[in-house]
Amino acid sequence: MNLTEQLISRREIYHGRIIDVQVDTVSLPNGSTSTREVVRHPGGVGILALDDEDCAVLVEQYRYVFGRTLLEIPAGKREPGEDPLTTARRELREETGAEATHWQPLGAILPSPGCYGEVLHLYLARDLTFGATHPDADEFLQVRRLPFDTLLARCLSGEIEDGKTVAAVLKAKLLGL
């Protein structure tokens, strides 16, 4: 059975600084029609940065949508057409002040494919040197370090809920960290 849905019409709802929202009418495989609410995003990166003591360099920041602070790997939005590794290098430097000599791709994830059109590229960064941080004007965060094994345990226990952090940590563990 062909599972493909075909676009019939599109209505633009919102055009923002980070996302665009649209409502699509689609034809379903059985010939019926349905509505799809779609959030478009230019894509992003997440970086699991490990220092020479095997501690993860993390950021703690308030997430308005959830009304609380979360502990996460450094991450950020890609500029249109930007190479994901270029984004990763920039975001790691801006958020943590770190630069890495060794970069290893951990693959990409689709954070919420039911409605959210973001592809998030994950990286492992090693051989770190540190300088000053340069967060965006509307970005307030604190840099934290956590031993990788502790971070893994906190991801597995559900204490850390951020999807990109959990995915990067689990992928890194499967690679033999």
Amino acid letter at 108? A
pLDDT in tens, 53-92: 999 999 999 999 999 999 999 999 999 899 999 999 999 9
SS (H, E, C) 58-115: EEEEEECCCCEEEEECCEEECCCCCCHHHHHHHHHHHHHCEEEEEEEEEEEECCCCCC
pTM: 0.94
Q: How many residues does the chain have?
A: 177
Judge whether residue 177 has pLDDT over 80: no
Note the pLDDT tens digit of each residue in 89-120. Answer: 999 999 999 999 999 999 999 999 999 999 99
